[in-house]
A and B are shown apart, each in its own frame.
Chain A
Amino acid sequence: MKLTILFVTLFFGLGVTSNAQEISLDDLLFDIKAEEEEPVYLPKKMLFSQRMLWGEKGLYRGIGLAPKVLTAETREKELRARRTMFKIHQATGLLAAAGMITQAILGPKLYNGNFGIRNAHKRVALGTNIVYGTAALLSFTSPPPMVNRKKFDNIKLHKLLSIVHLSGMVATNVLANQASEGKVNKKWHRAAAVTTFGAYVAAIASIKFEF
């Protein structure tokens, strides 16, 4: 009996020692896999428009414009849509900048009494408003990114400046109508346009200058 116990002890004892020394690559990979986290598809922090439209109980999910249940596949499609919207945002944003530069050339000529370009000024304004509006709409209605940290960075500055130039665009248009009706001095329209252009250029430049 004692001999059997000794044999069993030795057999299993040796077995354990041997196993302890044989750690395989699969064991390491198993350990890594065991600690993997559950996927999270939406960032904790979202802009109010993103939460309102794309949040888990967002409007788009409610009316069926976006999938009701978030999975890796559905969220991937949303990110692809975001990327496309982002590219169009960049293209239309640059077109709007071109429109603003054109106005910066036409505007002073109109101020100096060259009324022949009044219609051209108006048409460029309409075009600029359309491309600017498209760029803004795409920005405010795009699905949220995967990451949205609290830290203030150049992209947050870009968004902050968008509030300034969006307000400026509205003011420029309102003052343009009022100036043409003689209700306000056209210098206010020019001041609003210059402020808008300044904020807009700064917003584009903020993409380049990271901090």
Chain B
Amino acid sequence: MKKKVSAIMELSTFMYGMHHPLHSFESTAKEFKCIAVYNEDSKQLEIVAVSVPVKNFDSGNSNRDSHVIETLDALKYPNITFSAQDVSYEGNKVSAKGKLIFHGESKPFTITGEQTLNMKSLSIIGNFDVNMTEFGVKPPSLMGMSTDEEIKVSFDFKFEI
């Protein structure tokens, strides 16, 4: 039996980190959406879709968050979306092969994570890097210095099953 499950916002996190010569920072999405199809027999996720509105990221600095919205053209492309229907398992290691839509550009992308299963909850924790230039994003700059091209993303999705 398969069923649709949504990540519990209060318990889940989605964040990214970036490095600038002046300082590194991390930014957490206050709200995002992660829905998956859970197979109750195999106790595994089969399909997954995640959407994070760029405006929901909070790095603790309003100006920087606003700068990120500008840099990512978030008025034109408000969401970062990942979707996959090729989810495979090796023990508790999960690999989701799908596509990432970032800055309006869609590219094949694989995200890996680790699944933990309890009686009533399932959690997937993982991290991955995104090179912003591959998605047509110019690294933002401050005081004439640019950030690194790599965006380090980490997530912890908790589902009630």
Instruction: Give the B-binding residues of A (Cβ under 8 A).
Output: 21, 23-25, 27-29, 31-32, 35-37, 39, 41, 72-73, 75-76, 79-80, 82-83, 90, 145-149, 151, 153-155, 207-208, 210
Q: A residues within 8 A CB of B143?
A: 90, 207
In the complex, whether B35 has a CB less than 8 A from a CB of chain A is: yes
How many interface residues does B have (CB within 8 Å)?
Answer: 40
Q: A residues within 8 A CB of B120?
A: none
A154 to B22 alpha-carbon distance, docked (Å): 13
B4–chain A nearest beta-carbon distance, Å? 6
**Which of B2, B35, B58 is A31 in contact with, Cβ under 8 Å?**
B35
B44–chain A nearest beta-carbon distance, Å? 14
Which of chain B's residues has its CB closest to A153's CB? B61
In the complex, whether B142 has a CB less than 8 A from a CB of chain A is: yes
B161–chain A nearest beta-carbon distance, Å? 15
**Which of B48, B58, B62, B81 is A148 in contact with, Cβ under 8 Å?**
B62
Which of chain B's residues has its CB closest to A71's CB? B75
A41 to B69 alpha-carbon distance, docked (Å): 11
A-B contacts, 14 of them at CB < 8 A, read A23-B2, A23-B47, A29-B81, A35-B33, A36-B78, A36-B79, A75-B75, A76-B75, A79-B75, A146-B65, A146-B69, A147-B62, A149-B58, A210-B23
Q: A residues within 8 A CB of B36?
A: 28
A83 to B71 alpha-carbon distance, docked (Å): 10
The 7 A-B pairs of least Cβ separation, nearest first, read A145-B66, A28-B49, A72-B75, A146-B69, A146-B66, A155-B63, A32-B51
Q: A residues within 8 A CB of B33?
A: 31-32, 35
Instruction: Give the A-binding residues of B (Cβ under 8 A).
Output: 1-4, 22-23, 25, 33, 35-37, 47-49, 51, 53, 55, 58, 60-63, 65-67, 69-70, 73-76, 78-79, 81, 83-85, 142-144
User: Do A207 and B66 touch across chains, with their CB atoms under 8 A apart?
Assistant: no
User: Do A153 and B55 touch across chains, with their CB atoms under 8 A apart?
Assistant: no
A206–chain B nearest beta-carbon distance, Å? 11
A50 to B9 alpha-carbon distance, docked (Å): 34
User: Do B70 and A146 touch across chains, with their CB atoms under 8 A apart?
Assistant: yes
B25–chain A nearest beta-carbon distance, Å? 7
A56 to B134 alpha-carbon distance, docked (Å): 36
**Which of A35, A39, A210 is B61 in contact with, Cβ under 8 Å?**
A210
With A32-B51, A147-B65, A148-B62 in contact, do A21 and B75 touch (Cβ < 8 Å)?
no
Interface centre among B53, B60, B61 (most CB of A within 10 A): B61
